[in-house]
Structure 1
Amino acid sequence: MGRATARALAYLASGLVAGAVDLAWSLAAVLGVGLLSITQLGGPAFLGAAWLTRRLATVERHRAGWILGEPIPAPYLPAGGGSIRQRVAAIGAQPATWRDLAWLVLLFPIGLAGGIAGIVIAAVDLAAIVAPLWAWAVPNPHAPFPMRPLMTTTPGRFGLTVIGLMLLPVAGWLLRTLARLTVAVARALLAPGAHRRLVERATRLAETRARVVDAQAAELRRIERDLHDGAQARIVAAGMTLALAARKLRGGGAADTDVALARRQLDDALAELRRLVRGIHPPILTDRGLHAALAALAADSPLRVDLRGDQSDRYPAAVESAAYFVVAEGLTNAGKHADADACQIDLVRTADTISVTLADDGQGGADPAGPGLDGLRRRVEALDGTLTLTSPPGGPTILHAEFPCAS
């Protein structure tokens, strides 16, 4: 309790100096940035003022830790790189920037009132406790009752000591209460607010979703690998066994007919299984990447397909899978419904995005709300991407998917 009271007194007393310094800086920063805002130095001046304001606010968060037991967490969001204008916009858009400034201004009257009150309470109680050491030097026969007998007589001075000791817990409680009230205002302004909490929650949700998407992609690759290496291999082996049996039964008869039928059924099952595997996750995506998988799609398409993009570039597995099925759906629609003769696929990666564009020369009129495109849109949006379709009557039809690199 004694240490808590000492920290409360230190916090209140230091608030006098901190309030004066912070107010002076706040006025100078507002005036300086306001005057320089009409010049080319406005942006750098704002960034410099914000930097120093945040340092002063950080000191206040650590001072509040004297009362709270730990510093108030910083509420700042990363401003990122870019130009000075972009950094100014990013920092200015954060509520914490202006809440810091508000506290630095409010600290002067709050710190002045709390500091003076704290010092007076501590000084009066301490003076009463040590009254026998000093009260004799300031005799005042005209002091009002009961101060005159307490100050001018030896028993009275020792009585002041007893009164001071009795009031010591009350003085400590008052000091701690004043400090807690001041810190409550500081925490309301300097602690992370709703904006920071929402941003952090959105970040956590994005990270969680990315992990779920990656896990789903890994599971699809595992299923594809198991089907390819397990069931498909066993079907091929069974077909070979039937082929050997058919060779031994070349004499004809019902058995030969049944074996031939079984072979055809196995061939059909194998073809269906291969289509299923390609629909889950084409093996070529894992082995050779998106460009090679799109090249295979283009080779199988009845249309003339021109594929453009970096052949050696690799992308996140979930992005490769989503982009592959966007192009597969686009090629299928162009061939079946648009009466197209040729398509162009552009695969482009920039610093921030990965985009896939498919354009055909068909008759257009595609329905953006169709079930196939709607499923693709949900798949793309699950990666924070966007899918747009432009298909006026008469064509051309352009299907464009864009994914953030973070995906």
Structure 2
Amino acid sequence: MLTVARAVRSTILAMVKTVARALAYLVSSIVAGAVGAAWTLASGLLVTLLMVTQLGGPAFLGAAWVTRRLAALERRRAGWVLGQPIDPPYTPVSGTLRERVAGTAAQPATWRDLAWLVTLFPLGLTFGVAGVVVAAVDLGAILAPIWAWAVPNPHAPWPMKPLMTTTPGRIGLTFIGLALLPVAVWLVRTLARWQATLARVLLAPGLHVRLVQETARLASTRARVVDAQAAELRRIERDLHDGAQARIVAAGMTLALAARRARTSATADPDLADRIELARRQLDDAQAELRRLVRGIHPPILTDRGLHAALAALAADSPLSVELRGDPDARYPAAVESAAYFVVAEGLANAAKHADADTCTVELARDRNVLRITITDDGNGGADPQGSGLDGLRRRVEALDGVLTVTSPPGGPTVLHTELPCES
């Protein structure tokens, strides 16, 4: 029984709180609507007058700032009825004054805020007055025995006269008010919910903001995946270099000692030393292949000394005469350095293998947050930009939001230009 009583009491308290919040929302909307309408009119006139002067931009941004504060208050007020505040719909803008004005004006939320402040005045006045009247009439009927005796009116029409001027009538008003209480509660909550729902339609994040937020989330997720992939490649390179490669070197040394001992032993099989020597050469070949594999996964020098040093080592091994330009001390994010390295490696390999080039120039330049890589060779040109090799490079670059373009007219030269965002 005690549990049932507590449950009933909790239900009644929750209903009272809900109705109180709805009524507070409707009543405060009368004031909020008047303030919003007055501000919209004043700010609109002010910005219109100043728009032809140098103060037009600052006036617009200032008016937008105040409007957003009022809209933020409306989102919190709507949360009284909706259960939680409405999320802000704005995207950040930066840059020069002109860029900030254009960015703010381009956001649909800026104008939807104004639309709500204009709509709130008639809507809040209508719904607010209706909610106050409904609540006051019903509450007045319930409390009639307390106050009705103080306002006798012998000329009141029937049935108000017996209800207001007699004790049984006042008690009857109380019962009528209690009977209509669920209807009054429903009306107040419905009016508040309608208004809050319309506020959510105009003030909540729209499709534009959701797309911007989803794009930012996907970009962040992709950046984490790319970074994780680069870290995994470095881990594999390190494990191969410090593990398998070291063991192969140790095995090679053991075989070399065994071959030497076999040659000096009088009782050894004459062919044993040759077989051991063959095994050692095969092990050396496996080690060389493993080193090439490690460099193909992620060259250690790229992690230790940076992109410029790794490209310098790559140029030194190239059959072409390669001129490398750029800042030797510049460092970039690991994923960017890895992609740039393989773009240059593929470009040099293609120039040597397919273009019959003799010389090649590799230029690195950073412009703000973009790494620009230009590879120019003196080959015979005619490279297919849609070829499998270049297409694979393009996909790798585009995974980092980069751009790869190929210019290769017949007769040359071939220019491979890559732009990689390198924000850290």
TM range (shorter): over 0.9
Q: CA deviation at 1:112?
A: 0.9
| Cα 1:377–1:151 shift into 2, 3 Å | same
Find the counterpart in structure 1 of residue 371 from structure 2.
354
Confirm whether residue 89 of structure 1 aligns to residue 102 of structure 2.
Answer: yes
1:393 paired to 2:406: no
Q: CA deviation at 1:241?
A: 2.3
Report the 3-state secondary structure (helix = DSSP H, G, I; strand = E; otherwise coil) of the residue aligned with 2:33.
Answer: helix
- Tell me, what secondary structure is at the counterpart of 2:409? coil
Other structure's SS at 1:313 match:
coil
Deviates more, 1:340-349 or 1:124-133: 124-133
Change (3 A) 1:153 1:319: same
Matching residue's letter, 1:308: R
Q: Which residue in 2 is equivalent to 1:241?
A: 254
- Cα deviation for residue 336 of structure 1 reads 1.6
**C-alpha displacement at 1:177, in angstroms?**
1.4
Within-5 A mapping of 1:72-83: 72-79=86-93, 81-83=94-96
Unpaired segments of 5 or more residues in structure 2? 1-14
1:4-403 correspondence runs (5 A): 4-79=18-93, 81-136=94-149, 138-250=151-263, 253-403=270-420
Unaligned runs of 5+ in 1: none
- Distance in 1, matches of 2:273 and 2:145, equals 125
Specify the code of the residue in structure 2 equivalent to 1:177.
T
SS of equivalent to 2:336: helix
Query: What amino acid does structure 2 have at the position aligned with 1:84?
Result: L
Q: Deviations over 1:118-154 (max 9, x none)?
A: 1111222233233345444554444432223223333
Provide the rounded CA distance (Å) in 1 between the counterparts of 2:254 and 2:151.
Answer: 119
Q: Report the Cα distance in structure 2 between the residues aligned to 1:331 and 1:174, rounded to whole angstroms.
A: 77
- C-alpha displacement of 1:94: 2.0
Counterpart CA distance in 1 for 2:221 and 2:150 is: 74
Pair 1:3-2:17 in alignment: yes
SS at match of 2:404: strand
Alpha-carbon offset, residue 27 of structure 1:
2.1
Tell me, in whole angstroms, the C-alpha distance in 2 between the residues paired with 1:281 and 1:40. Answer: 55
TM-score, with structure 1 as normaliser: 0.94
- Superposition CA RMSD, Å: 1.9
Distance apart, 1:164 and its partner CA: 2.2
1:36 deviation in Å?
2.6
User: Displacement, 1:222?
Assistant: 1.4
Q: Distance in 1 between matches of 2:255 and 2:136?
A: 105
Q: 2-side partners of 1:387 and 1:333: how far apart?
A: 15
**C-alpha distance in 2, partners of 1:161/1:379?**
78
Q: State the secondary structure of the residue aligned to 1:344.
A: strand
Deviation at 1:256, TM superposition (A): 3.0
The CA distance in 2 between the partners of 1:250 and 1:161, in whole Å, is: 120
Q: What is the SS of the residue equivalent to 1:355?
A: strand
Greater mean alpha carbon deviation, residues 391-400 or residues 368-377: 391-400
Q: Distance in 1 between matches of 2:363 and 2:321?
A: 14
For the residues of structure 1 that align with 2:245 and 2:145, how far apart are their CA atoms?
Answer: 102
Distance 1:212 1:3 in 2: 47
Q: Percent identity?
A: 74
1:230-251: CA deviations, max 9, x gaps?
Answer: 2222222222222223333447
Name the SS of the counterpart of 2:285 in structure 1: helix
CA gap of 1:126–1:242, structure 2 versus 1, over 3 A, is closer
- Return the TM-score normalized by structure 2: 0.90
* Number of residue equivalences: 406
Equivalent position SS for 2:205: coil
Query: Displacement of 1:160 after TM fit?
Result: 2.0
SS at match of 2:343: helix
Could you give the per-residue CA deviations for residues 22-45 of structure 1, whole angstroms, max 9, x where no partner exists? 011112223322333333222212
Distance change >3 Å, CA 188–CA 325, structure 1 → 2: same
Give the secondary-structure state (helix, strand or coil) at the position aligned to 1:89.
helix
